[in-house]
Amino acid sequence: MGLNLDDKKAVVAEVSAQVANAQTIAVAEYRGIAVGDLTGLRAKARESGVYLRVLKNTLVRRAIAETPFAGLSDQLVGPLIYGISEDPVAAAKVLNDFAKGNDKLVLKAGSYAGNTLDKAGVQALASIPGREELLARLLGVMQAPVTGFACTLAALAKKREEEVAA
């Protein structure tokens, strides 16, 4: 059953709201994926903060018109699933990781920072560590000098105690 005009307007408004806050859109063709696998993909997307939905391409074209993602319009052909995220790598990472384990999901294109990406571009974007991992690495780098200093002080104190005891 098709959508009536009010339903279509609601979908365009919903997608436009997601696109307004998004940094990345990743698009994949999903022919032949089992319902259970698709449910698992949606759960993973929710965990990662990715808006994931199967949408009519014409409605998405309307939602992304006059946005930095407008260049993606030419790539919107066939049965597609859309991943939209505020995190620059989350949408690409979720779809790419799923595509590695399920050959029926084929990455098609994406858009990041106003640039349209092909399949290789989406895969490259997905290979970048996520925000959480980068923050954890930064914290580790920031803690290393303090930890080293504390260990050095402890070693000096122990050496001093040994000298006094001897």
At 13-54, the pLDDT tens digits run 998 888 888 899 999 998 888 888 999 999 999 998 999 999
Burial (CB count <10 Å: 0-12, 13-18, 19+), residue 27: buried
| Cα–Cα dist 47/131, whole Å | 14
CA distances 113 to 14, 68, 132, Å, are 21, 7, 20
Sorted by where each begins, the domain ranges of the chain are: 5-128, 130-166
Q: What is the CA radius of gyration of the chain?
A: 23
Q: Other C-beta atoms within 10 Å of 123: how many?
A: 18
Pairing of strands 106-112, 24-29: antiparallel
Structure tokens belonging to residue 138: 């930064």
Q: Give the pLDDT of residue 127.
A: 86
Model pLDDT, residue 128: 83
Integer angstrom CA distances of residue 109 from 10, 62, 101: 25, 18, 18
Q: What is the pLDDT along the chain (166 residues), one digit of tens a residue?
A: 577 888 888 888 998 888 888 899 999 998 888 888 999 999 999 998 999 999 899 999 999 988 888 888 888 898 999 999 998 888 999 999 999 988 888 999 999 888 888 988 888 888 887 777 778 888 888 887 878 778 888 888 888 888 887 6
State the CATH architecture for 5-128: 2-Layer Sandwich (3.30)
pLDDT at 27: 94
